[in-house]
Amino acid sequence: MIIENVSCFSLKSDYKSFTLTMNDASIYLGYLMHFKYLKISSMELVYQKNTGVRQRKGTKHPIRRMKKKINHTGKLLQYLSRHQYDILLYEISFSNGWRIKMTSNCWVSIYTNSQVQRNETFDKIIGGFGYDKIPLDTKIPNLTYAMNYDRPPTTIGIDQTPDEFWTQDEKDEWRTKNTF
């Protein structure tokens, strides 16, 4: 059985960002090494200490926000590798305007400044997981695509889903059209 780190992706309607579906985005932080050359302008990271098997069954550590100021992604990953933390959520903003946001333990959204930057970043990350290059210009925004090792990505579902870039009118129209 193969455990796939990235199983799905969807492009956002601003044509500059995308979302990856991962098995556990709080564990697979290695993709952040693709951003190691970028300076962090702001970071919000929520974690909980986990001492593993040495922890008593009833021990519950508090959930905390990281207060430590870290300027580069490489230093952040180095810091996290030395501590026993369960990462619950994070949002990292970079000085060039890019942003990475983990919204749950399986969805990571990456926001860039242009469609070209989005395509290059997507290809780097997906290539790091062993997938072939995917032509994103032919993909429809807000559709979820399943990743396949031996064939092109296939769509999951038949309709687009709203994202944060849709207007309220577009969301209302989608809700009326898709009532179950």
User: Given this model, what pLDDT does residue 43 score?
Assistant: 93
Task: Kindly state whether residue 118 falls inside one of the protein's structural domains.
Answer: yes
User: Given this model, what pLDDT does residue 1 score?
Assistant: 37
CA distance 87 to 32: 14
Task: Kindly state whether residue 1 falls inside one of the protein's structural domains.
Answer: no
Task: Kindly state whether residue 43 falls inside one of the protein's structural domains.
Answer: yes
Summarize the confidence of residues 5-16 as an average pLDDT.
84
Average pLDDT in the chain? 83
Higher pLDDT, 114 or 132: 114
* Residue 3 in this model has a pLDDT that exceeds 70: no
Sign of the Cα pseudo-torsion (177, 21, 113, 100, in order): positive
DSSP of 43-85: EEEEEEE--GGGS-TT--PPEEE------BHHHHHHHHHTS-E
pLDDT tens for each residue of 32-41: 888 888 999 9
Based on the structure, what is the number of domains in the chain? 1
pLDDT tens for each residue of 39-70: 999 999 988 887 777 767 777 788 889 898 99
CA distance 161 to 140: 11
pLDDT tens for each residue of 123-164: 888 888 777 888 888 888 888 888 877 778 878 876 777 777
Two tokens at 19? 């979302």
**C-alpha distances out from residue 26 to 47, 113, 126, 135, Å:** 10, 25, 17, 27
CB 86 within 8 A of CB 50: yes
User: Given this model, what pLDDT does residue 25 score?
Assistant: 67
Summarize the confidence of residues 153-179 as an average pLDDT.
79
Task: Kindly state whether residue 56 falls inside one of the protein's structural domains.
Answer: yes
Which position has the token pair 């199983």? 7
Range of the domain at 149: 6-177
CA distance 21 to 5: 8
Task: Kindly state whether residue 131 falls inside one of the protein's structural domains.
Answer: yes
* Residue 105 in this model has a pLDDT that exceeds 80: no
CA distance 108 to 9: 10
